[in-house]
Structure 1
Amino acid sequence: MSQFTDICRINVKGGDGGAGCMSFRREAYVPKGGPDGGDGGHGGNVIVKADAQLSSLIDYRFKHHFRAERGTHGQGSRKDGKNGSDLILKVPMGTVVREIDGETMEPAYEIADLTHDGESVVVAPGGTGGRGNPHFVTSTRRAPAFAEKGEPAIEHWIELEMKLMADAALVGMPSVGKSSLIARMSAARPKIADYPFTTLVPNLGVVRAGEYSYVVADVPGLIEGASEGRGLGHQFLRHIERTALILHVVDITGGFEGRDPLEDYRIINDELAAYAPELAVRPQIVIANKCDASGMTERVAELKRAALDDGHAFFAVSALTGAGLQTLMLACGEQVAELRRELAETSDAPELDEGKWERERQARDRRFRVVREDGVAWRVVGRGIERLVVQTDWENEEAVIYLQHRLGRIGVDDALVKAGCKPGDEVRIVGYAFDFEGAGDLDDDDYEDDVDYEDDVDYEALALDDEDTEE
């Protein structure tokens, strides 16, 4: 039997970009052949893609490192390098992808929430291939003797968290009969026994009742303090978040411990509200199970009054004999259908925006900020800016001059001045450092015809915090 895995962390790295080629055409009877270096190939991306056929993250339980293919280097005669192949990592629908902070190893921000079959997000972009020297020809620079290096891809950790995509979730204390109910209501066959925490993983079942068909999740039992992580709380409360309807199961007999059903009902509702306040107002049906036991009439009446006072529908059933189940299943189907209609009417968002997560990633890449470092230098932080720096051949003076002019064009010099950087101050970007010369004049004739600047890309300097610019 395959193991159920609903949260894991993996290390991902796109392929490195290939280097651009610095070459000149050398051919008999062709004087001044000009630059003809090819571009380096782009590295492959690591892509996380939702697949409706998967139900667990088991593929990432034991393997944690994933690498895409690198791009190859450019060659002379304008031969471009080959792009690296993408690496696609398939995950179940309902998987949330988060960036992990490299220092604290805690989730930093959400990258994507993949709720549609086929929805995908690039989690580790491949390095950009370096451009060959023909790209740097201008009216005054006819024979550029430099090319760009390939961009090394960034290696980092991400977290994958799967949240079940079900219409309704069976919740309640351990051993109240949730597994028996889902087995009666659907074709699901969970492990059933008369001891607490028999169910250690969520189970899904498709219920068909009359004209209705819907998916029910059997969530492992909760206990008091589950919202704070007691028992299996944090591991499985997440699976209730996406469900439209909560089926709150109460053992009317009190179980072997002789618990008070009314107190159980209150405890579970308090834990749901403590974990996520929106769960307190989520539509709920209260189910009194094991009503085939003798002498339960008064207890059933008390629980029914409490449920109706809270605005919840109430049903008394027996998972053992099947009494009351058909009525319950039909009522659940009707409420799920109504909730689906309400969602369809109130939602203005399209079904699937395939480019949404990629646009957000590119916007993050274009942002940069200036921070004070060690009280003696300034550091420019931002993936897009860092890409330009690592692709520069720092042994080539012409390439370095080109980079400085380019940084000025995209607003880095202005951001440094705004932060308080003065001429002569040290500026650091990735592993390189140089002295700031001030915001220069960008109308240098040597660059006016250069068409390779990314003028269509809007680099955004983030607002500078006062603490970042303190002397």
Structure 2
Amino acid sequence: MFIDKVRIHVKGGDGGAGCMSFRREAHVPKGGPDGGDGGHGGNVVVQADASISSLIEYRFKHHFKAQRGIHGKGSRMYGARGEDLVLKVPVGTVIHEYFEDEKEVGELVADLTHDGERVIVAEGGHGGRGNIHFVTSKRRAPAFAELGEPGQEGWIELEMKLMADAALVGMPSAGKSSLIAKMSAARPKIADYPFTTLVPNLGVATSGDLSFVMADVPGLIEGAHEGRGLGHEFLRHIERTALIVHVVDLTGDWEGRDPVSDYDIINEELRLYGQGLEDRPRIVVANKIDVEGTDEACERLAARVREDSVAAAGGDEFASSPVDPKLYRISALTGKGVDSLKAAIATKVRELREAARAEQADTTEFEAVWELRREARDKRFDVTPLGGGVFRVEGTQVERWVVQTDWENEEAIAFLQHRFKRSGVDDALEKAGAVDGDEIRILGYAFEFESSIRGDDVYVELDL
């Protein structure tokens, strides 16, 4: 089954808790702290794999969680790191954030266009630090350690877009499936009724020493750019193709449509859909020349293609443009003209590949870009006055610190207060109007705020 869009929930493994321990050995009366760190949780990684052709593995299972880190132990024994969870997807998969509550698609996370390319979509939580890390000149025997950090979690949308060099587009029953079957080893379903092809098909065609990947896209109809006939589902598979091969049925099929009108309708749908499809290089194919009585329709179509070619060149009959449509007359049934068409497509694809390689000399590391953007977002926090002397603080990093804190340990709470001060939470609260005695809420905890006196802010935990 061909599945090309899914939404899944991913969660990085939680970090293991740090250990609070002191060295206890014979003849070592004052052994210092020796609690080891907890292991980091595993990451959830999405990786492109050329051997996978659809997202069917994610059709029924929608929740994925990486392994958690192991807790630290005494004697400076560090916990093991949790294993990463690697989710394999087809080459050409686009990953976006997805907000389940709002049912909205968020920022682009990555566009995996090469085999083996990968990105971390949910980072595992950091392991909590053992008490050996909290020794200072004044605090010689810290009796606390950090709990493990929870792993990042959220929904993402995986959208597969075909990675083809050329895409066959046209009205239903224009002969696209017959053509890809003639040009390659692909064996799509072929029948004499509209919408025989319901999912895109891929085929590899060879002409001399050149080869290219061709996609047979299900037939488009008027209004496809608005989603009619699943237009959006089909048109997005054309977005990546370097060359559009527009197949026109000279017979008008059983409905008796006008071939020139069909040609104009498909061009208009490509223009209205956007994504640069109207400016994409293209080849026009007049199919079914083996049928008697198609000569007149073929000449009218050729005249329209020449008009478009001149218009694309800015009105200069002798100039050329990147679009510059060329017409080829073929019969997908008998094979007449198919070899010359295949050679033309292969040559054009090679030119476009070379041009693309020159433009893409500088590649972007999605993982690095996404990680920096996510890190900056995590550090942000908001202070919201709720009225009546109550304020709420919200922010990914601040909330993680609260979760990491052992609320049964006063030293751990004091360390959290120090973190609040360093990160600017105290200053933000004062700017928002918080005064002594006001209630500060973070997640399920409430604190009484006291303004700075000697450089240390004091929060007293309240029961909610």
TM-score by length of 1: 0.88
Structure 1 residues 86-107: Cα deviation after superposition (integer angstroms, max 9, x where no partner): 1111001111112211321321
Cα separation, partners in 2 of 1:189 and 1:134, compared to 1, 3 Å: same
Residues of 2 paired with 1:108 and 1:164: CA distance?
A: 22
Cα separation, partners in 2 of 1:329 and 1:140, compared to 1, 3 Å: same
Structure 1 residues 233-254: Cα deviation after superposition (integer angstroms, max 9, x where no partner): 1212111000011111111110
Structure 1 position 359 matched with structure 2 position 357: no
Match of 2:312 in 1: none
> How far apart are 1:422 and its partner, in Å?
4.8
Match of 2:316 in 1: none
Match of 2:338 in 1: 325
Instruction: State the secondary structure of the residue aligned to 1:232.
Output: helix
The residue type equivalent to 1:295 in the other structure is G
Cα separation, partners in 2 of 1:267 and 1:354, compared to 1, 3 Å: closer
Structure 1 residues 21-50: Cα deviation after superposition (integer angstroms, max 9, x where no partner): 111112222111011111111111111111
Higher mean displacement: 413-422 or 41-50:
413-422
> How far apart are 1:392 and its partner, in Å?
1.1
Structure 1 position 412 matched with structure 2 position 425: yes
Residues of 2 paired with 1:219 and 1:438: CA distance?
A: 66
Match of 1:156 in 2: 154
Match of 1:202 in 2: 200
Kindly tell me the number of residue pairs found equivalent between the two proteins.
Answer: 441
Structure 1 residues 299-349: Cα deviation after superposition (integer angstroms, max 9, x where no partner): 111111212222211111110111111111111111111111222223342
Alignment of 1:63-462 (within 5 A): 63-311=61-309, 312-350=325-363, 353=365, 355-357=367-369, 359-360=371-372, 362-372=374-384, 374-375=386-387, 377-419=390-432, 421-438=434-451
Instruction: State the secondary structure of the residue aligned to 1:314.
Output: strand
Cα separation, partners in 2 of 1:363 and 1:192, compared to 1, 3 Å: same
Q: How many percent identity over aligned positions? A: 63
CA contact (8 A) 2:288 2:330 kept: yes
CA contact (8 A) 1:220 1:232 kept: no
CA contact (8 A) 1:119 1:354 kept: no
Residues of 1 paired with 2:449 and 2:260: CA distance?
A: 71
Cα separation, partners in 2 of 1:423 and 1:224, compared to 1, 3 Å: farther
Structure 1 residues 390-422: Cα deviation after superposition (integer angstroms, max 9, x where no partner): 111122222112112122223333344455555
Instruction: State the secondary structure of the residue aligned to 1:135.
Output: helix
> How far apart are 1:357 and its partner, in Å?
4.7
Structure 1 unaligned spans of 5+ = 445-471
Residues of 2 paired with 1:215 and 1:261: CA distance?
A: 27
> How far apart are 1:269 and its partner, in Å?
1.4
Residues of 2 paired with 1:171 and 1:237: CA distance?
A: 9
CA contact (8 A) 2:418 2:456 kept: no
The residue type equivalent to 2:405 in the other structure is T
Residues of 2 paired with 1:443 and 1:433: CA distance?
A: 19
Residues of 1 paired with 2:7 and 2:26: CA distance?
A: 58
Cα separation, partners in 2 of 1:276 and 1:428, compared to 1, 3 Å: farther
The residue type equivalent to 1:126 in the other structure is G
Residues of 1 paired with 2:260 and 2:59: CA distance?
A: 40
> How far apart are 1:64 and its partner, in Å?
1.7
Instruction: State the secondary structure of the residue aligned to 1:231.
Output: helix
